[in-house]
Amino acid sequence: MHLEAEEIVCLIGPNGAGKSTVLKTVFGLLVPTAGTISFEGQDIVGADPEEIVRLGIGYVPQRRNVFPSLTIEENLRVGGVALDAGLDARLDELFEQFPILAEKRQANAGTLSGGQRQVLAFARALVMSPDVLLVDEPSAGLAPNTADAVFGHVQTVNELGAAVLMVEQNARRGLAISDRGYVLDQGAVAFGGPADRILEDDRIGELYLGG
């Protein structure tokens, strides 16, 4: 499995296939028992999440992805804890990029809607200006219109220069905005290729895309 610069790759597959485990392992939350994980030629197996953030990899988890008792600004400052300088300027850029967060800058994250929390989680992961963003189930639990907006943010992040490795249960919607995709089944890659080819494959559609 690989991710090229400035592309979106979507991981799909049945529940329990190992999709979220891939992201957690890349980010250093889990340690693999075999194999390697290479980022720009460097083996990062065994690196902890803080090291991985400093290398240029961000992570947006599916659940518990904001601190509800902290304000939006405080959440973003947590995301920049490893930033050596220029945090205030970086926050200004993000507030300009995500106006909904600027409007509620001093509001507690716990008062936000599900979609707004997801936007905050994206923004916090972007504080360090990562080269790669790992995104786990961005549309989970969201209404269709809100999910569309969140997928739009995924595309915006990509257009700003970050490669995106995304796990998405809504396989058709995730693949629709992706360059390539991988089908995971029982912990192994069952298929990989251009996203449009996966969408057009009748066998994959029947097995993994709901027909």
Question: pLDDT tens across 84-128, in order?
Answer: 778 999 999 999 989 989 999 999 999 999 889 988 998 999 999
Asked whether residue 103 is domain-assigned, the answer is no
Query: In the predicted model, what is the mean pLDDT of the chain?
Result: 91
Asked whether residue 57 is domain-assigned, the answer is yes
Our measurement of the distance from residue 182's CA atom to the centroid of its chain's CA atoms, rounded to an integer in Å, reads 15
Asked whether residue 84 is domain-assigned, the answer is no
Please, where are the H alpha helices in 65-113? 72-79, 87-97, 99-103
DSSP 182: E
Q: Return all residues near 39 (Cβ < 8 A) that are at least 6 apart.
A: 52, 55, 56, 57, 132
Containing domain of residue 34, as a range?
8-66+130-208
Exposed, middle or buried: residue 108 (CB in 10 Å: 0-12, 13-18, 19+)? Answer: middle
Identify whether the C-beta of residue 115 lies closer than 8 Å to the C-beta of residue 142.
yes
Asked whether residue 101 is domain-assigned, the answer is no
Give the model's pLDDT for residue 211.
54
Asked whether residue 143 is domain-assigned, the answer is yes
- Domain CATH for 30: 3.40.50.300
Number of folded domains in the chain?
1
Asked whether residue 89 is domain-assigned, the answer is no
Q: Residues 187-209: pLDDT tens digits?
A: 899 999 999 999 999 888 887 77
pTM: 0.91
Identify whether the C-beta of residue 24 lies closer than 8 Å to the C-beta of residue 30.
yes
CA separation for the pair 141, 185 (Å, rounded): 23
Asked whether residue 50 is domain-assigned, the answer is yes
Give the model's pLDDT for residue 115.
87
Stretch 137-166: mean pLDDT: 90
Asked whether residue 122 is domain-assigned, the answer is no
Give the model's pLDDT for residue 210.
67
